[in-house]
Amino acid sequence: MDSQQFREFGKAAIDFVADFYDNVRDGDVLPSVEPGHLLKKLPENAPEQPEDWQTVFKDFTSTIVPGTTLWHSPQFHGFYPTGTSFPSIIGGLLSDGLGVVGLTWMASPACTELEVVTMNWLGKLFGLPEEFLNCSSGPGGGVIQGSASEATIVCLLAAKDKMTRRLKKLNPDIDEELTKIKFIAYTSDQCNSSVEKAGVLGSMKMRLLKADASGRLRGETLKKAFEEDKAKGLIPCYVVANLGTTGTCAFDPLYELGPVCQEENVWLHVDAAYAGAAFICPEYRDLMKGVEYADSFDVNAHKWLLVNFDCSALWVKDSYDLINAFDVQRIYLDDVKAEVKIPDYRHWQMQLGRRFRALKLWMVLKIYGAEGLRAHIRNQISLAQHFAKLVRADDRFIVEPEPAMGLVCFRLAEGDILTKKLLENLIEKKRIFMVAASCKNRFIIRLVICSQFTNKDDVEVSWKLIKDETDKLIPNDKVHIKSQSIASINHIQNISICEKSK
């Protein structure tokens, strides 16, 4: 493909993406395909002869697109938002076009330094303590990881190394390998699966501690777990606090967990993958009270900040904890010794090479501005509140727990079996997508405002789809009769009470 063909193919691709988003409301959210559909359609072997881009593009639209879930449909309400925006897409295109691999500063100075700049911008917008920023006088700083999952395992490994070095300093004769076996990590039983997986990958037992009735991990629970494990000869090493749990978007109180970790020299990592983006709005920053106790803090910019996957923003209070854990030197990686503070990001992550991810973050921050991003988040929260109001107006439903951020959890008052059946029926029709969770041992349905295109009318369309399907399971007239009966009973009881008082 030469540059002229590239221009033609690129223009067609841009037109496709623009049309795709312009018409994203029109199609089913879920594709009408069965497992293995693409395996049957595509040939078993790669083509021997080159094909022209027109043929390839036709194959893309006819075979690939029909099997794609519409993550950015206004009726996609599953999991959490996955960010996208035209500025981010352009940033990704330009990053791919430049084609740099940021092994070291010299490998692409702009790749490293734009990451420093944008991570400082973002950290300040969140209101993080200055010690987490690259521009501080200390060793802290921010780095872009691939995902919150990656950030959690990176910090677990750094915590493991830091605790080993600390114990070795106290007792140079300890057996490092036997000591590491005793390390233990902690998190809430409401954590994301990736947190538990970090323990598996990092060879560290991860205790899932029971959250309170509101889904929060409390300080006294953590302190008790520390005491229990220390009595068994184990060594508390790593704690993951959740600011916005996956199931119900509950917020662990950092101001309780932090002092417990600090007293035992245990690394406190904050997983704020989704909800942390809301901290760019000052009215939500009380939810991260106690963040000064954290050793690391992560937010997925690719969830709620209109940046395409992958772009997970991780800040650490002491970058030397990462460097000490991951520094492996080779002569071909020797770099220019700068007088200014320039991080060598290959020591801040698992992989050696890195893409120019800061470019799409920079594009979004520049084109939307802080106010544009705040408006986006506030709007989605207001849409979630509107949906909750619609649900509460129907006696057949219970909203529980209280809505948080852009998430509303609800269930049918008739019980778990019908709630589960409702979700199954809705997914089968493919017009709306939601996923389940558990709250107080009850089956609940989660509806998240995910798409940047969602408006009030779209929310009401989603509610109508849910309501219409519920009508088939629990006719509304029965609820009306039931409500009248309850009202009549209450009326009779009130008359009886009044008669007695006379």
| Residue 60 included in any domain | no
Number of domains composing the chain:
2
- CATH number at 345 reads 3.40.640.10
Identity of the amino acid at 172: P
Taking phi first (over 0 means left), then psi (-120 to 50 degrees means alpha), and beta for anything else, what does residue 233 get?
A: left
Residue at a domain's end among 355, 389, 414: 355
204 and 298 housed in the same domain: yes
Q: pLDDT tens track of the chain, all 502 residues?
A: 899 999 999 999 999 999 999 999 988 999 988 888 899 888 889 999 999 999 999 999 999 999 999 999 999 999 999 899 999 999 999 999 999 988 888 888 899 999 999 999 999 999 999 999 987 778 999 999 999 999 999 999 999 999 999 999 899 888 888 888 999 999 999 998 889 888 899 889 999 999 999 999 999 999 999 999 999 999 999 999 999 999 999 999 999 999 999 999 999 999 999 999 999 999 999 999 999 999 999 999 999 999 999 999 999 999 999 988 888 877 777 776 655 678 888 888 888 888 999 999 999 999 999 999 999 999 999 999 999 999 999 999 999 999 999 999 999 999 999 999 999 999 999 999 999 998 888 999 999 999 999 999 999 999 999 999 999 998 876 554 444 444 443 444 444 444 444 3
Nearest to 372 by CA among 128, 85, 117: 85
Residue at a domain's end among 355, 384, 404: 355
| Residue 40 included in any domain | no
Domain that holds residue 1: 1-30+69-84+372-502
Would you say 395 and 333 are in contact if contact means Cβ atoms under 8 Å apart? no
| Residue 24 included in any domain | yes
| Residue 364 included in any domain | no
| Residue 47 included in any domain | no
468 and 405 housed in the same domain: yes
332 and 215 housed in the same domain: yes
The model carries a pTM of: 0.89
| Residue 35 included in any domain | no
Burial class (CB in 10 A: 0-12, 13-18, 19+), 418: middle
DSSP string, 98-155: HT---SSTTT-HHHHHHHHHHHHHHHHHHT--GGGSTTSSSS-EEEEES-HHHHHHHH
262 and 411 housed in the same domain: no
212 and 300 housed in the same domain: yes
77 and 119 housed in the same domain: no
336 and 461 housed in the same domain: no
| Residue 56 included in any domain | no
CA distance 60 to 51: 13
Could you tell me how far CA 129 lies from the centroid of its own chain?
Answer: 22
Burial class (CB in 10 A: 0-12, 13-18, 19+), 86: middle
- CATH number at 389 reads 3.90.1150.10
Could you tell me how far CA 357 lies from the centroid of its own chain?
Answer: 17
338 and 380 housed in the same domain: no
Residue at a domain's end among 322, 355, 388: 355
335 and 405 housed in the same domain: no
Tokens 């599953």 locate to 78
Beta strand 312-316 with 397-399: parallel, antiparallel or unpaired? unpaired
149 and 218 housed in the same domain: yes
263 and 226 housed in the same domain: yes
